[in-house]
Structure 1
C-alpha cells in the first residue's frame, strides 16, 4: 500500500486562491489530492495538523548569493565549499526555499574573495549536492569586464548551469554612479581604494563593440546549455532592448519603472529583490518593489542576499490576494526557470511544501522536499493514521 502524507486544517494556497481548512495529500514525490479537510484522513501514513497555518509551495529562489558569504564570511577567511553549501542549504530550507539558484559571481575581485576559480569551486560543490536538503542549482553571473564566459564555458563540461546572467558593474552604467561605485566596493566589499579606482577605470573603458561581443558570447553559452538568460540592472528602455535582442528572457533588478515596463512589453520576466519589498525600498534608491507591483510590472521576487526576506515577502500587504503574492515566489519563478513541475499546489505537482506560521514573523514549521520531510520546527503536530484508501 502506498504511504501517504496528509497536511490538513491549513490555509492551503493554490495558484488561484486559498482553500480554507484545506488539506493536501502526498504520495511519494507528488501531490495527489487537494480539498477541504472535512472528511477522514487518507490513512496509511502521516497526518500533519497545520492548525490554521498557511500551507504553500516551497519557495523558488532564482537569485541568492548568500552562499558566497558562507564561503568567505570575512575577507581572506575562506571555508570549504561543501560546508558552505550545506550551511546555506539548511538556512534556505529553514526559510522555505526548496529550490535554490545559487548566484555565483564569475568575476575577478580577489579583495573580497570573488574570483573565477572560487566561483567554479562553489559551482562544483552545488553540482555534487552532498548532504543537502533542497534542490540546489547554479546561476552563473558573468561579469563582462572579466574572462567570465570562458570560465563558465569550461565549467559546463562538469557542471549543469541552470541560469545565466550578464553583469557589467561600472560607474555611470546601471545602479552605480562614481561615488556609489567606490562606496560599494570599498565600504561594503572591503576593497582598497586603489583597487576600486582601477576597476572603475578598466570597466569604464570598454567600448560598445567590445561589450556587445562579450554579451554575444555569454548569450551563446546560455543557448548551448539551454538555460534562461538574464540581464542585470537595466536602467532604461535601450538596455532592455539590447538584452532582448541578445535573447534575454529575464530582466533582473530593473533600476527604473520605464525599464521594467519595457521589459514587460517585450515579454521578459521582471525579477526584483524581496529585501526591497520587505524593507520598504531599494538600498540604492532605485525602483522600489512596491512601486513595480503597483504598476503591474513585477513578476518574481528573489532573496538577493537575505533568504528570510523571501519568506516574509508574500505576507507584506500589497493589496493583492495572498495567492498572487505567493505566486511571485513560487509558481512564477518556476515557470521562468522552466520548472513547471513545482512551485504550485496542484495534483501531479512535485510535493515541495511548507507549513508557515505567519505571525508575528513568518516562520517555517514544516518543509517537505519531493514529498520527504526536510525540516520540522514549531508546533505543527504529526500522527500516524491507520491504513485507509484515498477516496473513501
Structure 2
C-alpha cells in the first residue's frame, strides 16, 4: 500500500489569491495514486507559512497559536490513521481514510469517543429511538466504567459488565441483551476499521429471550368493541378509538401518533404510510370496523389525538377493568392482537407479514407459534 500526506498553503492559479490577501491551508492525501484534498478551515497571509514545519509563523497580530493547535490535531489524526493501518497489517482505501479523518473528534482510543462518532456518522440511518437508546447505553456504560479504551474490551470486561447489568441494576434478560448488543455493534464497527483485532463476541454469544406478546383474543376484542356503546369518560373513549384502530390495522404506536388524513387513501379504504421504525412503505386495507373510527379531517390533520405511551397504557388499564378483561395489556398488544386474530381468521401468514411490514416471514411465524400454544393449553381442558 502506498500512502502519502502533506499539509500545504494552496496558492495555485485555479483558486487565485483571496480578496482578503489570505491563502487557504490544505491537506493532500494520496493513497495508491488516488488523491483527495481537504480544506482545513484555516487562511493566512503567504508570508506567515512555514512550509518546512507545516506551521503558522509567530505573529502578534495573528492567532497563530490557535491555528497551530488545529494543525497539530490534524497531524495527530493523520498519524493515528496511518499507524493503526500499518499495525493492523491491512490496506486502507481513500474512502476509509476520508471517513476516519472526517470525524468531528480526535480520540486516544476511547471506546466512548469512538461510539459517539459512530452515532454521529450513522445518524441519518438510525431511527430517533435507536439514537436515544444508543446514547443511553453509552451513559449506562460510563456509570459502570467512566473511562474505557477500545483495547480494554475483552472477555473479562464483558463478564464484569454483565454481572453489573444483571446483578447491580437488576436488568431483565432482554434489557441485558440490548446492552451487550450495543457493545457488539460498536465493536464490530471498530473491527472493520482495524482498531481492534479479535472478535471477542465469538466466545461470548448473545441470546435473546422472546418478549411478552400479550394479546386479546376475538372474544376479548368484542368486549372492548362493546364499550363504544357505553358512557365512557372522553379520554377513555379517545384511547379506545385509537387502540381498536391499531387492533384492526397492526400499526405501531409511533405510526398511530403520526397518522394523518393524507395517509388515508382511496375513499377511506386504505392506510398508506412509511413506517417510522423501518422506513418501509405499507398499505393496509381498512375494514368497516376501522372506517367507523376515523371520522373526517383535513389532509395534514392527525386522525387521532394520541396521548403519550405511558398515559395511553394507564388508560388502557382502566378500559380493561371496565371490560372485565384480566390481562396486562399495553398499546403494543394491539399489534399482537391484529397478528394473532388474523391467523385465527385464516389469513395466510405471507399476507399478514406484508400487512405488518415484516422483512422476514420468520418474525410473523412467531405469532403462529403463539396461537399453537394457546390451542394446546385450551385443549388441556379436556383432561379435567
TM-score (norm 2): 0.21
Higher-Rg structure is: 2
The structure whose RCO (Cα within 8 Å, separation 6+) is larger is 1
Larger helix proportion, structure 1 or 2?
2
The structure with the largest strand share of the pair is 1
TM (norm. structure 1) is 0.21
